[in-house]
């Protein structure tokens, strides 16, 4: 059997919960996809979400929205995996990780069985470890399977800097690197406001004195965002939905966008055999290239620390 040809701009979303459904809604509004298919173990949930989304069709750009089955992987151009299960009471993080890893492996088996040529974007947490699980299990290339990584965290970072400086968030260029989680790091050395480095901006606006404390607070706000939002409303879904639209648009529109997705490193930044986020060029073939940025010594060390935290999780998974 020859591999399936993909249907242009068909996006399959696995997991129709808070993240999957919000992403579907944002993607429909973006006009980037021709076909959006939702798959969930809970078939009624998928059908309910599809019905609700479809009733907005008179007001979206043209798009078909359907519930589907594993067969839909066959001709998908992009598959976005948000399927997962929440932590059960008394369950450790490692138990949860093992359960989500087996969900991802099951989905990858189905994708492979359908001879799919889709680009696979993993979103389920812990996203870096599960991206690595999907890669190992499928033996696909690192360009074809990657994680949503810190695209969301980088958006949060840009937002908090823009609020602090009173500058349009679109003119703030800033990246969070490493794990999508507690060991992530802010790449201050790459941060600029319309081309003016953050250090220069701080100096020329007389902000040097408070900056060491404020910059740390901004990063803490980024890192703790998910905890706060989950505490208040039970899940994060809107910003991650937009971040996923950004990633999927880069693939569907072949735009060579620089995004901090979670990629398997092969020597870049002195790191090997670990998935974490660094700036990558994303196009119709997935990750085209990993960019090697000129990080400060401290940032380079923090990236290595993040990699060692992730390697521990990977080792735990294999026990």
Q: Residue numbers of the site for ligand NAD (CB under 6 A)?
A: 14-20, 39-42, 45, 82-86, 103, 106-107, 123-125, 127, 148, 152, 180, 235-236, 240
- Residue nearest to ligand NAD according to CB distances in the complex: 17
8 A C-beta contact, residue 268 and residue 142: no
Is 305 marked active-site?
Answer: no
C-alpha 61/C-alpha 34 separation (Å) is: 9
Using the minimum distance from each CB to ligand NAD, give the nearer residue, 36 or 152. 152
Using the minimum distance from each CB to ligand NAD, give the nearer residue, 120 or 202. 120
Using the minimum distance from each CB to ligand NAD, give the nearer residue, 142 or 180. 180
Using the minimum distance from each CB to ligand NAD, give the nearer residue, 74 or 84. 84
Q: How near is the Cβ of 164 to ligand NAD at its closest, in Å? A: 23
Token pair of 158 as six digits: 């840009």
Q: How near is the Cβ of 59 to ligand NAD at its closest, in Å? A: 24
In a 13 Å sphere around the CA of 207, the CA atoms on its Cβ side amount to: 14
C-alpha 132/C-alpha 112 separation (Å) is: 16
Q: How near is the Cβ of 300 to ligand NAD at its closest, in Å? A: 24
Which residues on neighbouring strands pair with residue 207, listed in sequence order?
none
Using the minimum distance from each CB to ligand NAD, give the nearer residue, 175 or 201. 175
C-alpha 63/C-alpha 29 separation (Å) is: 9
The position carrying tokens 């519930």 is 67
Q: Which residues, at least 6 apart from 178, have a Cβ–Cβ distance to it below 8 Å?
A: 150, 184, 185, 276, 277, 302, 303, 306, 307
C-alpha 137/C-alpha 148 separation (Å) is: 18
Q: How near is the Cβ of 243 to ligand NAD at its closest, in Å? A: 7
Q: Is the peptide bond before 153 cis (omega within 30 degrees of 0)?
A: no
Q: How near is the Cβ of 266 to ligand NAD at its closest, in Å? A: 22
Q: Which of 55, 137, 144, 180 is catalytic?
A: 180
The residues that are catalytic are 180
């Amino acid at each position: 059997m020859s591999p399936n040809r993909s249907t242009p701009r068909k996006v399959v979303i696995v997991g129709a919960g808070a993240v999957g459904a919000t992403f579907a809604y944002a993607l429909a509004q973006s006009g980037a996809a021709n076909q959006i298919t939702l798959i969930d173990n809970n078939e009624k949930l998928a059908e309910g979400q599809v019905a609700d989304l479809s009733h907005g069709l008179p007001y979206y750009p043209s798009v078909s929205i359907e519930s589907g089955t594993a067969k839909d992987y066959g001709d998908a151009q992009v598959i976005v995996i948000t399927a997962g299960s929440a932590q059960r009471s008394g369950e450790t993080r490692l138990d949860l990780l093992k359960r989500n890893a087996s969900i991802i492996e099951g989905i990858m088996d189905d994708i492979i069985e359908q001879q799919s040529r889709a680009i696979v974007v993993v979103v389920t947490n812990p996203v870096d470890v599960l991206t690595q699980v999907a890669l190992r299990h499928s033996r696909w290339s690192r360009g074809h399977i990657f994680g949503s990584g810190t695209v969301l965290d980088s958006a949060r970072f840009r937002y908090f800097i823009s609020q602090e400086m009173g500058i349009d968030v679109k003119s703030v260029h800033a990246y969070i690197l490493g794990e999508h989680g507690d060991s992530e790091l802010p790449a201050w050395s790459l941060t600029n406001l319309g081309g003016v480095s953050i250090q220069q901006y701080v100096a020329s606006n007389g902000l040097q004195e408070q900056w060491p404390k404020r910059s740390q607070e901004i990063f803490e706000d980024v890192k703790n965002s998910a905890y706060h939002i989950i505490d208040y409303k039970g899940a994060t879904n809107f910003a991650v939905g937009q971040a996923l639209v950004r990633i999927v648009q880069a693939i569907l529109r072949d735009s060579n966008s620089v995004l901090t997705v979670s990629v398997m490193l092969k020597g870049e930044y002195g790191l090997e055999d670990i998935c974490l986020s660094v700036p990558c060029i994303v196009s119709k073939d997935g990750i085209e290239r990993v960019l090697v940025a000129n990080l400060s010594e401290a940032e380079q060390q923090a990236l290595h620390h993040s990699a060692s935290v992730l390697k521990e999780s990977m080792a735990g998974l294999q026990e």
